[in-house]
């Protein structure tokens, strides 16, 4: 590793400028597809629960592989892009983004956030708003008397109660989107690891990915330093998209869809920068993933030997594979993040990075 600290973000911007001219036709196709499902999403907000993870992430993945393909000096074509779309559902990349897990966790976060806002809103409104107090007391009376129709009508007609419902629902939708985006930002690094450990199962690959990050000292610092601008742009895009949509149609579900559209429209041209950052991060901290992978193999071997679930020949074969992996790591140490044509004048030291 180089002794001089190198700005990963500046390196990624340098590579972005170098490669954007080669990848822009593919990026334009992804942009148009994004516009398509976002337009449907504003008209039918619930469609985003399906189109974003199933179509949006599929094209995001193909775009990611396309940039790696171009970086190797290959010419990009629609046929190759279609092949990458299919690779999303095949090994070794199947399950790289952990869509279902991350969607479920994001949903749980949204429920918790909604409950917190609901309790806070209720406490304030119940203390300060006589109209809220009266409607809430009436609602409880309806529920006590099992008058569900009257309770439903009151919830739909009461301004104070509807305001609380809107606050909770809005909180849940916004939390769901940004939690899911945060998970996708992190697991967007996973395909680079999958391309290296192609023989491992999805479960083992994910274990190595998460375990390697935990062991990689400095990883999160580099991650946030390189991507903080994209997070800010995502928030600004959401705010602008939400406001513009709400002006034309004061419906919170559609306004949230407009916010999602604003975020993705602003971020799509910057996806190649994110891909460069992801690749550089995985290269810089490759040693941590390699070490964790070897340690995992050693622990698994010991457990199988202790349980006498393998023959001596199988044990020797695994030991040989571990020795070869250790030897390969010694012969091919991780590179510093400044490579592949990045401008050496983009280097900076720690003091520069903190400015």
As a whole number of angstroms, the distance between CA 18 and CA 71 comes to 10
pLDDT on residue 302: 67
Q: How far is CA 83 from the centre of its chain?
A: 23
Question: What is the number of helices (H) and of strands (E) in the chain?
Answer: 16, 0
What pLDDT, on the 0 to 100 scale, is given for residue 36? 84
d(CA 265, CA 181): 14
What pLDDT was estimated at residue 304? Answer: 57
Of the candidates 284, 320, 194, the residue with the CA atom closest to the CA atom of residue 8 = 284
Q: What is the pTM of this model?
A: 0.80
Which token pair is 271? 């996806």
Residues 213 and 287: their CA atoms lie apart, in Å, by 10
Q: What pLDDT shows up at residue 223?
A: 92
How far apart, in Å, do the first and last CA atoms of the chain sit?
24
161: CB partners within 8 A, 6+ apart: 132, 135, 136, 139, 154, 155
CB 9 within 8 A of CB 226: yes
Q: Which residues, including other chains, have CB under 8 Å from residue 62's CB and lie 6 or more apart?
A: 30, 81, 84, 85, 87, 88
Q: Which two tokens stand for residue 2?
A: 């180089």
DSSP string, 152-218: HHHHHH-HHHHHHHHHHHHHHHHHHHHHHHHHHHHHTTHHHHHTTSTTS-HHHHHHHHHHHHHH-TT
Contact indicator for 249, 255 with CB cutoff of 8 Å: yes
What is the mean pLDDT of each successive set of 10 residues along the chain, which is 355 residues long? 60 85 81 85 82 85 84 72 83 85 94 95 90 90 86 86 92 94 92 76 81 87 92 95 90 89 91 91 84 74 57 49 50 42 40 38
Residue 98, SS3 per DSSP: coil
pLDDT of residue 308: 56
């Amino acid at each position: 590793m180089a002794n001089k600290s190198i700005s990963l973000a500046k390196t990624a911007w340098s590579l972005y400028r170098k490669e954007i001219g080669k990848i822009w036709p593919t990026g334009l196709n992804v942009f148009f597809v994004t516009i398509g499902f976002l337009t449907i999403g504003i008209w039918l907000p619930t469609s985003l629960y399906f189109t974003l993870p199933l179509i949006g992430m599929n094209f995001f993945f193909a775009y990611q592989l396309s940039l790696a393909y171009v970086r190797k000096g290959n010419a990009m074509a629609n046929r190759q892009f279609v092949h990458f779309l299919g690779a999303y559902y095949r090994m070794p990349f199947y399950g790289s983004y952990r869509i279902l897990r991350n969607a479920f966790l994001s949903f749980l976060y949204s429920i918790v956030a909604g409950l917190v806002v609901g309790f806070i809103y209720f406490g304030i409104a119940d203390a300060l708003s006589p109209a809220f107090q009266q409607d809430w007391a009436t609602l409880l009376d309806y529920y006590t008397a099992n008058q569900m129709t009257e309770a439903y009508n009151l919830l739909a007609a009461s301004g104070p109660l509807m305001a609380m419902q809107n606050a909770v629902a809005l909180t849940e939708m916004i939390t769901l989107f940004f939690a899911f985006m945060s998970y996708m930002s992190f697991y967007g690094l996973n395909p680079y690891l999958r391309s290296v450990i192609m023989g491992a199962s999805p479960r083992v690959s994910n274990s190595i990915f998460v375990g390697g990050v935990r062991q990689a000292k400095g990883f999160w610092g580099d991650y946030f330093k390189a991507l903080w601008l994209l997070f800010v742009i995502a928030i600004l895009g959401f705010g602008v998209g939400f406001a513009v949509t709400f002006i034309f149609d004061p419906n919170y579900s559609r306004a949230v869809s407009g916010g999602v559209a604003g975020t993705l429209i602003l971020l799509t041209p910057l996806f190649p920068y994110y891909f460069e950052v992801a690749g550089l991060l995985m290269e810089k901290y490759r040693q941590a993933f390699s070490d964790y992978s070897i340690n995992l193999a050693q622990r698994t071997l010991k457990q199988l030997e202790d349980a006498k679930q393998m023959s001596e020949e199988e044990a020797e074969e695994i030991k040989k594979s571990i020795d070869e992996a250790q030897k390969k790591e010694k012969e091919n140490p991780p590179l510093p993040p400044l490579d592949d044509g990045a401008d050496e004048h983009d280097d900076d030291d720690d003091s520069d990075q903190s400015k």
